[in-house]
Structure 1
Amino acid sequence: MGVLERKEREKQEMRELILQTATRMFLEEGYEKTSLRNIAEKIEYSPATIYLYFKDKKELFYAIHERAFENFFAHMSSAETIANPMLRLRRMGELYIEFAFQNPELYDLMFIMRAPMEAIKESRAEWGCGPRSFELLRTTIINCMEAKLMKSMDVDVAALSIFSFIHGFTSMTIRDRLIMYPKESLRTLLEKSLDNMIDLMKA
């Protein structure tokens, strides 16, 4: 291995170490308590080292946000093997709920916190990871309509309606805004509510 290749590998290894450490600290301590200085102390390097890889905390957390969406996309894509698009849509709802409940802090970073999106605006980069996941939903809805399993309507209206419903319910659950219901029954309630919404859209 040449000098340049070795340096590039070491650079990638350091970036990966920073990302993994920052993710672990975020999950354990939360966004506000995770600082670049604390991350640097954890990996036993100076804060200046982190600035070689990330402009600021927002950019670092956007990288975590992007990786979380990659995992989310892979998780949701497992439903694509289901031939019946209506059953696939139902399964996608289950997978969304499952991911959110298993990864509440990452879900918060992906769908609620402003910092990752502020990093995109400041860098003027394109947000590719979020829309790619949303396109899975749109495609499934199109398949439902083509198969005459769902009422013909504007695809984006249908997709946003389903997403907004499940996102809102899931977010309220994770943020403890539905404490009037027993915690152990919330997932079942959410899934049944999703069933009712999908039923209203059936042809």
Structure 2
Amino acid sequence: MGIAERKEKQKLEIRKMILEASMQLFVEEGFNNVSIRRIADIIEYSPTTIYLYFKDKDEIFFNLHEIGFQKMLEMNKELDDIQNPLLRLRKMGENYIRFGMENPEYYDLMFIQREPMKKLTEMGCDWKNGDAALTRLRDTLIEAMEKGYIAQTDPIVLSLSIWSMVHGLVSLATRERLEKLVPEKGQILPVIMQSVDWLVKSLDISGKAAL
């Protein structure tokens, strides 16, 4: 490995360390208690070094937000193999809920915290990964309408309704609110998935979903 390759590898390793330390602090103490100096202390580099990689704390968390979408994309990579759009919709809901419950900190950055969206506005960029996920949902619903699986309606309104439902379920679960309704923790995910099944069945006017 040449000098240039070693330097590039070191840069990538430091960048990874910064992101991992930031997520550690976020998980343990919350966004407001994360600072560049505290991140620097964890990785044992100077704050100046961190500024060579990221402009500020918001940029760090924007990058963590992007990593979260990459993880979700990996979970959804086989969705296109599902031909029935309603069964695909059901799997999308399952993946979304599992991702949120298994990765609550990433979910928080992706769909709840303001800072990544503020960074997007500052950079003058679109919400590329979020928009892609919503477009997949909308396109699946349009396909289901075109094939006669669900009634014709405004796909944007329906997309927002479905997203709001699953987002609400994940948010309640990750903040320990569903435990008030479902005391047994091991039953929370099955109950949530029953809600998704109910939603898909309520949309199905063809009887073809076969859940």
TM-score (norm 1): 0.90
Partner of 1:55: 55
Partner of 1:189: 191
CA RMSD of aligned residues (A): 2.0
Q: Is the aligned partner of 1:39 residue 2:39?
A: yes
Partner of 1:162: 162
Q: What runs of 5+ residues in structure 2 fail to find an aligned partner?
A: 206-211
1:9 CA displacement: 4.3
Partner of 2:203: 201
Q: What runs of 5+ residues in structure 1 fail to find an aligned partner?
A: none
Q: Higher mean Cα deviation, 75-84 or 7-16? A: 7-16
Q: What is the CA–CA distance in structure 1 between the aligned matches of 2:54 and 2:2, rounded to whole Å?
A: 26
Partner of 2:208: none
Q: Deviations over 1:145-167 (max 9, x none)?
A: 22211111111111111111111
Structure 1 segment 94-105 matched on structure 2, within 5 A: 94-105=94-105
In structure 1, what residue type is equivalent to 2:72?
F
Q: What is the CA–CA distance in structure 2 between the aligned matches of 1:44 and 1:27, rounded to whole Å?
A: 19
**Percent identity of paired positions between Structure 1 and Structure 2:** 43
Pick closer, same or farther for the CA change 1:159–1:77 going to 2, 3 Å. farther
Q: What is the CA–CA distance in structure 2 between the aligned matches of 1:72 and 1:180, rounded to whole Å?
A: 28
Structure 1 segment 1-203 matched on structure 2, within 5 A: 7-181=7-181, 182=183, 183-203=185-205
TM-score (norm 2): 0.86
Q: Deviations over 1:126-185 (max 9, x none)?
A: 221111122221222122122211111111111111111111121112112233221333
Q: Quick check: 2:94–2:196 contact (8 Å CA) kept in 1?
A: no
Q: Quick check: 2:79–2:92 contact (8 Å CA) kept in 1?
A: yes
Q: What is the CA–CA distance in structure 1 between the aligned matches of 2:41 and 2:108, rounded to whole Å?
A: 25
* Partner secondary structure for residue 163 of structure 1: helix
Q: What is the CA–CA distance in structure 2 between the aligned matches of 1:78 and 1:134, rounded to whole Å?
A: 17
1:16 CA displacement: 2.4
In structure 2, what residue type is equivalent to 1:115?
E
1:32 CA displacement: 2.9
Pick closer, same or farther for the CA change 1:193–1:202 going to 2, 3 Å. same
Q: What is the CA–CA distance in structure 2 between the aligned matches of 1:29 and 1:56, rounded to whole Å?
A: 18
Q: What is the CA–CA distance in structure 2 between the aligned matches of 1:168 and 1:21, rounded to whole Å?
A: 29
Q: Higher mean Cα deviation, 24-33 or 76-85? A: 24-33
